[in-house]
Every structure is written in C-alpha cells, then in structure tokens.
Structure 1
Amino acid sequence: MEQRLTEGAEATPPRGQMALGVAAVTLVALNLRTAVVSVSPLYGYMRQSFPVSHTAQGIMGTLPALCFALFGIFGPGIGRRLGLSWGIVLALLMIAAGEVLRAAISPSILVFGLISMLALGGIGLGNVLLPPAIKQLFPHHVGPLTSLYLVLIAVSAAIPPMTAIPLAHLVGWRITVGLWALLGVAGILPWAIIARSGPVPSAQPNAHTSAIQAWRWPTTWALTVLFAVGALAMYALIAWLPRLLTDSAGVTAATAGTMLAIYNFIGFPHSLLVPIYLDRSKYPMPVVILATACLCIGVLGLGFIPRWSWLWIIPAGLGAMFIPIGLTLINLRSRTKEGTTALSSFVQSAGYLISAAGPLLFGWLNQHTGSWRASCLFLAACGLAAGAAGVIAIRPVYIEDSV
C-alpha cells in the first residue's frame, strides 16, 4: 500500500486505501500528546500515593522533551530498517505499554518517571516518523494532511487535562492515567494493515539522499529555533500553567485544569490553517509575525496582569503556532521523504532537546524570584528569537540542493 499511495498523480489511490491512510494518521496523531498532558493536573492526587516535590514536578515537565529528543534521533534508522509504517506500530506499542505500566505499578514518582520514558520515547519516534509517512502516503496532499494531524495533536493535548480531575474523582488517578493506552492499541491496527500491504522495506537507503546531513544546512538551524521555541513555551506552560494560575490568579485546581485545556484547544485553528496557508502562500512572513506577537503578549499578560488570565490564555495558545510552522516547513523545505526524514529527525530531536530546558527554567525562575514575572519574561525573549529565526526559515530553499 505504501508503494501504491506514493505513485504519481496519474494513479489516484482507491477511496478505501485513502480512508485507511487518513484513519491511520488520525489515530497516531491522537496518541502524540496524551501521555504528556494527562499527568500535570493530577499531582495533587498522586501525592496521596507518594511524595511529589517541586523539583520532581519540574523534572517531569522536562522529561517529555528530553525523551522526544533522544528517541527522535533513532527515527531515521528505524524508518529505513523497519519501514515507516512498522516504525509507527513500534511507537504505538511503546506508548500503550508505558501508559499502562506507569499507572499500574509505580510506587514512587521516580519509578513513574522512569516508566514514563517508554511512552514518551514512543511519542518521540512517532513525532519523527509521521511527517515522512504523510509525505509518502499522500504526496499530493501534504498541506491538508499536515493540518489534520496537527489539529488532532491539539485534541490529544486538550482533552486529557479537561477530563483528568472529574475522572480522578470517580476512578482514581491510576486508571485516569492508564486509560489513554486504549488509544495506542486502537492505532496499531491500521498501521499494521498498511505495513503488511506494502513491499518489504529495504535496509539500504538511496545513495544520494542518504548523504543528507541536515545539521550542515543553515536553514535547518533556523527551523530548529522556530520549533524549539514553540515546544519550549508549550511544555513550560503545560507543566506550570495550573500552578501559575492558582498562585497568581487565585483560581481553583479544577478551573486551572480547564484553563490548561483551553490553552491546548486554542491550537485547533492555527493547527488547521497554518499548514494550508504555508503550503499555498508566497508570503509566509505574516504568520511568523503573528506567532511572535501572540506569544509575547500572552505570556507577558499572564505574568504581569494575571487577574485577566482568561484573556491572556488566548494569545498564549496562539503563540504555540511556532510548532505547526516548524513542522510544516520540514515538508516544504524538502523534496523527498528521505530529505523530510533527515530534517524531521534533526529539527525535532535538537528542538526538543533545547525545549527541555523550558519547564526547568520556568520553574527555577519562579522559585528564585518568588514571582512568575521573570519566568514569563524569559518566554517572551524566546518568542523574539523565534521571530528572527523565522525570517531565515521561510526562504524557499530545499535541503536536497545542499547535498
């Protein structure tokens, strides 16, 4: 099937195959944030089972980005040896197993964090393998399919924190955390069907495209800064926004969880529109300017005028559009799936590694200043850096031309 869906425009895949491909993209995208965002609203419940210190919470906020960076490095090799589809099956198995095990057997936050690395590592592989898989399955519909998977990632980031507190009241935090493994199991079937329908992947990459060294290309670094800032801000706020709101705005824990869900839901419009706009427009600069302005306004508002936090959540959420900008440009700055894989692996691995500092620095600045203002100033400065990098990243050049 992988081979059939990547033939030229003259060979349009049957509707059944297209539907299977869309279902496969949908299900894997829904798994790419649930293991991350399902935890932060539940620390109060987890403390009834074992201690969770301020430092441990900061480390847990940093762990996703570190795992995404580490496991993302192995994405290209796994994609070549297993094929993109079997690689995604492996990622989904890791996600489901990690979510079940950390909920079922963790006696401490240390063990919970260590087991979480299995699920987060699966997400790291999925992050890297899904963009080239979309390019391979839907070469003539990259923009719309990128929009679809980014919108669904926003869904997977928004629903768990919104439902976490009510579910924990009913069934406890362990079942609330482990329940999301069902999504991972559901996603395995369509990808296994696609993998079994296609040819056995060759372990030998194309001689030309295997020479691509993404780190040597200046535009790669601009893309990395763009993506890193979006991820850094997002994971810092996912880890600390509930605490910031309860400390500064005086809201309840349940309200803070709802506001975190709203922050993630705001990703819907830009996840849907940004990839399509970038794919079709000759003037991408307005999107970069909008992302920079929104991130700076949102985080500065949360830090300096927290009583209006319901208002500032909106631009703060729109500031996360640096992530879809970066992910879309990975496809738009490459001509082949090998080029996309090389860019996707480097940009996401390096970007997540950089972003791992976000939750720690955000929490550290608050702890050492006694205020969230320094933390929010830090995110605003990062937003300005991403805006500068965007000027370079939007130039219409291709990584294959650098080989």
Structure 2
Amino acid sequence: MPKSASARHTTLFSLLALAGILLFAANLRGPFTAAGAVLEVIQASLHIGAGQAGLLLTLPVLAFCVISPFAAPLARLYGLERVLFGALLIMIAGIAIRSTGSVWMLYTGTIILGGGIALGNTLVPSLLKRDYPNSFARLTGVYAITMGLGAAAASTIIVPLTLAFDWQVSLGSFILLPVISALVWWPRLKNNAAPEEAAEESVAAAPMWRSPVAWQVTLFFGCTSFNYYAFTAWLPSILVSQGYSQVEAGNMHGLLQLCTAVPGLLLPLLIAKAKDQRAIAAGLALSGFSGVVGLYLLPAYAVVWVMIFGIGMGGAFIMALMFIGLRTRHSRQTARLSGMTQSFGYMISACGPVTVGLAHDLTGAWLVPFILCGTLCLIVATLGLGAGRARYVDEG
C-alpha cells in the first residue's frame, strides 16, 4: 500500500534531521585539528614562533572548557535546535575571521570557532537522547565515526589546498561545512519544542557535581582525551626518534586517526548484549595500554601498536560520549552532564600535549612520556569500572 503524503513528508523530515546531525558532527573536529598540518606554513607567513602557532590547537580546547557549562542553560532558554543553529553561525564567523590573514584575527577567529564547536559538542548528545532514546548508543557511534572521518578528510585536503593557494584559502575553505549544515538544519527550527519538557520539570535538578557517577564519567572522558590528544600530537616525533622517516610517521599518524573511528561500528552491538559497560570500558583502556608499551619496547612493529592504541583510546573516547547519554534519564539531564564532562574533561585534555612535550624536553627522552601515557591508560581502565556501571547520575 503506498505511503500517504503525510507519511512521506514525515520520513523525509526524519532523514533530513539525521543528515543534519551527521553533518553537524563533521564540523566538530576537522576545522581546528587540520590546522596542525600547516602550522609551519602559518609560522613562516606570519613570522611567529612554534609556541604561538601551537595556540591554534590549544585555544579551541580551552574554549571548550569555558563555553561548555553555558550550553545547557542556553538550550533551556532558547531550545536545542536554535542554540545548535546558532553554534553553526558562530563557527561560520570564526572560520571567516581567522582566515583574514593577521595574527590577532587568526587567534580571535580560532577562539570563536572553538566556542561554536563547544556548543555542538555539548548539546548534540542531548539532542540524540531526546529524539532517539532507543538508538542512542548506535547513533552516538555513527556520530563519532562521522566526526573522525571528517577530521581525517580535513587533514587530507588542507595541505594540497595550501600548496595550490595559501593557508588563508585552505583554512577558509572549511566555511563550506557549517554553511551546508546550517542550510540542512534550517527546517528543524520550526520544531524547537522539547517533547520531554513537561516530564523533566518534575525531576529534581540536583547539582551535577554532587554525583559520584557524573565525576566518574567526567574523569573517564578527561583522562582518555588527555591520552588521545597527547599521543596524537607527539606520535610523529616519537616515530622519527625511533628511526622512521617523516613520510612513514605521517602515514602512521593518519592510520591512528582512522583506527580511532573503527570502534564506533562495533560498540553499539557490544553494548546491546552486555548488562553494563564495565568490561568494555576497561578492555578498551587496556588495549591503549598495550599499544603504549608495545610501541616503546618493540618499535619495529609500530604499525601494529599504533592500530591497537587507536582502537583502544578511540573506542574509550566514543565510550565516554556514550556514557553521557547512558548515565542520564532524559535530554535535559544529558545536557547538564555533557556540559560538566566536556568542561572539566577538556580542561584535563588541554594539558596533554603540553605536559608530554615538557616531560620530553626536561628528560631529553620519551621514556617519561611513555610511562605517563601508560599509567593514564590504567587509570582510565579503573575509572571505566565505575563509569560503566548500569547506574544513573541521580543514583549516587
């Protein structure tokens, strides 16, 4: 029996809504991580030091810390759809400003871009929890895969664009992503009401920071992100010190990024069959530990250890995003936990590349950074045993 016009319209709207979420995910990592591939070009063009150029990767993470706590209150005032649409407009403004060519506009635009990404990072899990409560884990996996693939694609195209034109054009080209996303997102603004609003009003909104479960999720996210960003930042230098060429190190860096997205395909299936996520979270962290130890002791098999680490820490990062929805009862609670997790979590992760670099500079070797990253993997495994329990943040 053919579908009615109303049913076809509903199906089309649902598909556009899901496409809008996935397009949104593609904006949340690539536009700022890709800048790392052309830092030397920017340095030479603007006559700035390595530390100043490194701010292009640090400033967005710091913006995540500052902006994330405000996301949930803004969503309560204006609705998820409107705030997320505003986040896309903020990203568009940030990308345009940072591409003008001056040092201060570069920094200013980067901070603005980071603010828009922070709103998206915090509120997209809440939107998934509200609109797809029965498919949250599966869609979070797809969302994480899209975010990772978007970052990989961004890193792939930025160097050729810079060589063909200049760094302003290559950084400015990323404006297409949020523009297209905003156009796809526009129809959602007509449906900005939160369906759970009446039910959520009856739920006591205890401060999230009083919940042990919330802190377990936050620290799991923060320590995982610390390891992920530190390892991502310094892996090429580590590999070169072990005898690999710059090209080989670059290829394995790309392999790492690809492997971090792979667990998004499998985690929803594992979660559906498990009574809780303790074994999964701890197992992923121990996989990361194996990668760290293996890379230090047997660097000749670096490609294997990089893959193991990428799957382990990438999976733990995706698991951390899933915990935000799995440990909450409704979308408003999800937004509050997401704000806490990503604010404190990214504050921890922002220290990763700097701490590892400082440890290497002080010791002149990579042993201490390896010990630090390996120890953090074990800490993440321990935190996973707590965050992975089948409990909600309001249960203690």
Using structure 2 for the length normalisation, give the TM-score. Answer: 0.90
Q: Which moved more, 1:91-100 or 1:50-59?
A: 50-59
The correspondence for 1:251, drawn from 231, 245, 248, is 245
2:274 aligned residue: 281
The correspondence for 1:309, drawn from 302, 307, 322, is 302
Q: CA deviation at 1:192?
A: 2.3
Residue 226 (structure 2) pairs with residue 232 (structure 1): yes
Aligned residue type for 1:102: R
**CA 1:14 to 1:237, structure 2 compared with 1: closer, same or farther past 3 Å?**
same
**CA 1:303 to 1:57, structure 2 compared with 1: closer, same or farther past 3 Å?**
farther
1:4 aligned residue: none
Whole-angstrom distance in 2 between the partners of 1:385 and 1:200 = 37
Residue 14 (structure 2) pairs with residue 18 (structure 1): yes
Q: CA deviation at 1:237?
A: 2.8
**CA 1:367 to 1:136, structure 2 compared with 1: closer, same or farther past 3 Å?**
same
Whichever structure has more helix as a proportion of its residues is 2
Unaligned runs of 5+ in 2: 1-6
Whole-angstrom distance in 1 between the partners of 2:239 and 2:368 = 15
1:5 aligned residue: none
The correspondence for 1:386, drawn from 371, 377, 380, is 380
1:362 aligned residue: 356
Contact 2:282/2:385 (<8 A) preserved: no
Whole-angstrom distance in 2 between the partners of 1:46 and 1:114 = 15
SS in 2 for 1:14: helix
Aligned residue type for 1:332: L
**CA 1:284 to 1:228, structure 2 compared with 1: closer, same or farther past 3 Å?**
same
Residue 148 (structure 2) pairs with residue 154 (structure 1): yes
**CA 1:297 to 1:199, structure 2 compared with 1: closer, same or farther past 3 Å?**
closer
What are the superposed Cα offsets for residues 322-359 of structure 1, whole Å, 9 maximum, x if unpaired? Answer: 21111111111111111111111111111111111111
Where do residues 2-401 of structure 1 align in structure 2 (5 Å cutoff)? 14-105=10-101, 107-108=102-103, 111-199=105-193, 206-209=200-203, 211-252=205-246, 254-318=247-311, 319-401=313-395
Aligned residue type for 1:299: V
CA-atom RMSD, angstroms? 2.6
Q: CA deviation at 1:218?
A: 0.5
Q: Which moved more, 1:94-103 or 1:219-228?
A: 94-103
Q: CA deviation at 1:190?
A: 2.7
Whole-angstrom distance in 2 between the partners of 1:205 and 1:260 = 47
What are the superposed Cα offsets for residues 235-267 of structure 1, whole Å, 9 maximum, x if unpaired? Answer: 223333333334444422x54443322211112
Q: Percent identity?
A: 27
Aligned residue type for 1:297: S
**CA 1:187 to 1:294, structure 2 compared with 1: closer, same or farther past 3 Å?**
same
What are the superposed Cα offsets for residues 195-252 of structure 1, whole Å, 9 maximum, x if unpaired? Answer: 2234499999954446231110101111111111221122223333333334444422
Q: Which moved more, 1:120-129 or 1:318-327?
A: 318-327
Aligned residue type for 1:379: C
The total of aligned residue pairs comes to: 389
Contact 1:58/1:363 (<8 A) preserved: no
**CA 1:309 to 1:160, structure 2 compared with 1: closer, same or farther past 3 Å?**
farther
Contact 1:61/1:239 (<8 A) preserved: no
Whole-angstrom distance in 1 between the partners of 2:199 and 2:108 = 34
Q: Which moved more, 1:132-141 or 1:254-263?
A: 254-263
Unaligned runs of 5+ in 1: 1-10
Contact 2:67/2:115 (<8 A) preserved: yes
Aligned residue type for 2:385: V
Contact 1:249/1:307 (<8 A) preserved: no
